[in-house]
């Protein structure tokens, strides 16, 4: 078996690369060497397997490099991406890696004819956008409401759509959740990204190790002839850590700070972090991949325990005054251009509106933790007592206007018409062969714009055309007034009288205006 990997020097890619090198039935691993220094370091680290490794110089947006990468392999594992905070500071790089890259990759594979490798494309939980206590859980098929100004998630959404609608013969899309990796702590103390995490946002974590085991097990089962279009290929799945990987933003911070004897409330003030516009969700369907591939070994709490065992120097932080640590580690990041405090001081009202509903709302955030309600403390956002552990372990489901559980080969034109109507649009195609979920169909979206997509892409993967597919812009205030599925999620954290259109200009400066202008 021969395998190609993009993003091998990334957080997940590095662990996957080293995991697959140990597989006896893998004779060759080709890697795309875009970040030469990091990739060369990774190859040198694993030089005992050098006979198995081939490096191709270039980026995923470089067609000639991608052709060399895909030539002669059985599988392409597309992990290549530019992720936050790097994507926030380099939007053009995010477009190249996350949006253009999948287009080039699919084009190259399509042109290989009968010799096409199988494609495993890694997408992201970011496509679901922001969730609060009313919709803590999400599943494949839920509406995709990429948070305004999240250029990473927007470009990943477009990249995923490309794969779903491609003519690649054999593919699958895996939406990766929040990931725990060795350098996570250090990676998050160099930028204001941590302040984007809402304290009550749901996050279902998975480790890079477990993610690598998942991909390894996919390859093993496929080589054994156990995977097909009925159970895996040409489907979209959520990669999650299951119940033991779930935690809110504040809960996650607490577990990390616990290593140095601190807590979220000691290191953060209530107004450090955004109150909406994050991306996270507990997966109600992460059991699907688990039942197929049995990869969920780690836990959120166990990850941090393991970090402390391997890096005992963190214990030294327990003897340092917490106010000093807060000053050294956290407060300096408030000056980052990616931090809400910076947006407020520099009057970036577009981002203040997106993340807080404006500067006035930001100013109104309580200054004391006693006046803030956290789900992890057993209080909902109104201060009512809740059984958080029960809630965290009891999946709930967004209403979908068709029976997503019935066999896909029984999907009818009436199902498609009802779905389109619920989303404020219309099915334009006159003919639909019952159960042909990959048939290219013509739709009219809620804005009266025509688009083409399969029933699988729309109904089972949640892709409903909006301005974000054509522009680096977000129009969900308007969409929620026309699209009932959008409204169900959007109004959890937004007021019905909000009427803003958000966009990036050609220099990726944030703007907003009324949708009536």
- 3-class secondary structure per residue, 169-223: CCEEEEEECCEECCCHHHHCCCCHHHHHCCCCCEEECEEHHHHHHHHHHHHHHHH
Q: Position of tokens 């191709």?
A: 56
E strand or H helix at 453, and its extent?
Answer: strand 450-454
H or E element at residue 349:
helix 349-356
Q: How far apart (Å, rounded) are the C-alpha atoms in residues 23 and 437?
A: 35
Q: Which single residue is written with the structure tokens 């054994």?
A: 224
Q: Single out the residue of 272, 237, 502 nearest to residue 365, CA to CA.
A: 272
Please report which helix (H) or strand (E) contains residue 480, including its range: helix 476-480
> Tell me, what's the pLDDT at 44?
92
**Nearest CA to 102 among 124, 67, 78?**
78
What's the pLDDT score for residue 291? 98
Tokens representing 40 are 């060369």
Q: Retrieve residue 476's tokens.
A: 């969900």
Cα 302-306-312 angle, rounded to 5 deg? 140
Q: Taking the model in full, what pTM does it have?
A: 0.96
Cα 191 from Cα 188, distance rounded (Å): 6
Domain definitions of the chain by residue range: 2-179+201-241+285-291, 408-514
Cβ–Cβ under 8 Å, residues 23 and 3: no
* Fold observed for domain 2-179+201-241+285-291: Rossmann fold (3.40.50)
The pLDDT, as a whole number, for residue 319 is 86
Using the 8-state DSSP alphabet, how is residue 248 labeled?
E
Contacts of 329 (CB under 8 A, 6+ apart): 189, 267
Per-residue pLDDT at 420: 98
145: left (phi over 0), alpha (psi -120 to 50) or beta: beta
On whether the CB atoms of residues 108 and 67 are closer than 8 A, the answer is: yes
Helix (H) or strand (E) holding 54: strand 53-57
Q: Number of C-alpha atoms within 13 angstroms, CB side, residue 57?
A: 3
Give the integer Cα–Cα distance in Å for 366 and 369: 7
- The Cα–Cα gap between 411 and 264 comes to 48
pLDDT at 289: 98
> String of b and e for 286-309 (b: at least 16 CB within 10 Å)?
bebbbebbebbebbbeebbebbee
pLDDT along the chain (517 residues), means of 10: 96 96 96 91 92 96 98 97 94 97 98 96 98 95 98 98 98 97 79 96 97 98 97 98 96 92 94 97 97 97 90 84 90 96 98 98 96 96 94 94 92 97 98 96 98 98 98 98 98 97 97 91
Burial class (CB in 10 A: 0-12, 13-18, 19+), 417: middle
């Amino acid at each position: 078996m021969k395998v190609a990997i993009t993003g091998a020097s990334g957080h997940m890619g590095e662990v996957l690369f080293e995991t697959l090198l140990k597989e006896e039935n893998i004779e060759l691993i080709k890697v795309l060497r875009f970040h030469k220094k990091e990739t060369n370091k990774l190859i040198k680290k694993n030089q005992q397997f050098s006979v198995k490794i081939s490096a191709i110089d270039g980026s995923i947006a470089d067609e000639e490099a991608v052709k060399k990468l895909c030539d002669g392999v059985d599988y392409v594992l597309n992990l290549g991406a530019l992720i936050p905070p790097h994507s926030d500071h380099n939007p053009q790089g995010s477009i190249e890696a996350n949006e253009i890259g999948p287009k080039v990759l699919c084009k190259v594979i399509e042109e290989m004819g009968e010799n096409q490798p199988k494609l495993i494309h890694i997408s992201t939980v970011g496509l679901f956008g922001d969730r609060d206590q009313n919709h803590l859980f999400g599943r494949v098929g839920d509406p995709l409401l990429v948070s305004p100004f999240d250029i990473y998630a927007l470009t990943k959404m477009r990249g995923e759509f490309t794969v779903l609608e491609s003519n690649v013969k054999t593919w699958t899309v895996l939406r990766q959740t929040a990931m725990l990796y060795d350098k996570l702590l250090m990676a998050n103390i160099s930028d204001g990204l941590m302040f984007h995490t809402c304290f009550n946002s749901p996050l279902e974590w998975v480790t890079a190790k477990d993610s690598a085991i998942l991909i390894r097990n996919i390859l093993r089962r496929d080589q054994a002839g156990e995977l097909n279009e009925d159970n895996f290929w040409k489907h979209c799945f959520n990669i999650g850590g299951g119940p033991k990987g779930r935690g809110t933003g504040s809960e996650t911070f607490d577990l990390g700070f616990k290593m140095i004897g601190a807590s979220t409330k000691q290191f953060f003030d209530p107004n450090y972090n955004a109150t909406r516009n994050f991306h996270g969700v507990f997966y109600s369907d992460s059991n699907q991949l688990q039942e197929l591939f049995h990869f969920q070994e780690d836990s959120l709490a166990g990850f941090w325990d393991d970090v402390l065992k391997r890096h005992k120097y963190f214990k030294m932080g327990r003897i340092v005054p917490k106010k000093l640590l807060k000053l050294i580690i956290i407060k300096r990041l408030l000056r980052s251009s990616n931090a809400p405090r910076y947006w407020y001081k520099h009057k970036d009202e577009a981002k203040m509106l997106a993340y807080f509903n404006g500067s006035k709302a930001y100013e109104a955030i309580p200054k004391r933790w006693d006046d803030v309600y956290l789900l992890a403390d057993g209080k909902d956002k109104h201060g009512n007592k809740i059984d958080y552990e029960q809630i965290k372990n009891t999946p709930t489901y967004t209403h979908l206007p068709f029976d997503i559980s019935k066999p896909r080969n029984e999907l009818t034109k009436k199902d498609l018409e009802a779905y389109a109507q619920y989303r404020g649009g219309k099915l334009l195609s006159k003919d639909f062969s019952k159960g042909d979920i990959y048939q290219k169909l013509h739709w009219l979206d809620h804005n009266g714009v025509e688009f083409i997509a399969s029933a699988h892409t729309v109904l089972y993967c949640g892709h409903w055309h909006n301005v974000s597919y054509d522009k680096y812009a977000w129009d969900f205030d308007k969409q929620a007034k026309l699209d009932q599925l959008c409204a169900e999620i959007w109004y959890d954290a937004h007021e019905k009288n909000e009427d803003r259109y958000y966009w990036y200009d050609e220099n990726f400066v944030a703007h907003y205006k009324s949708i009536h202008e």
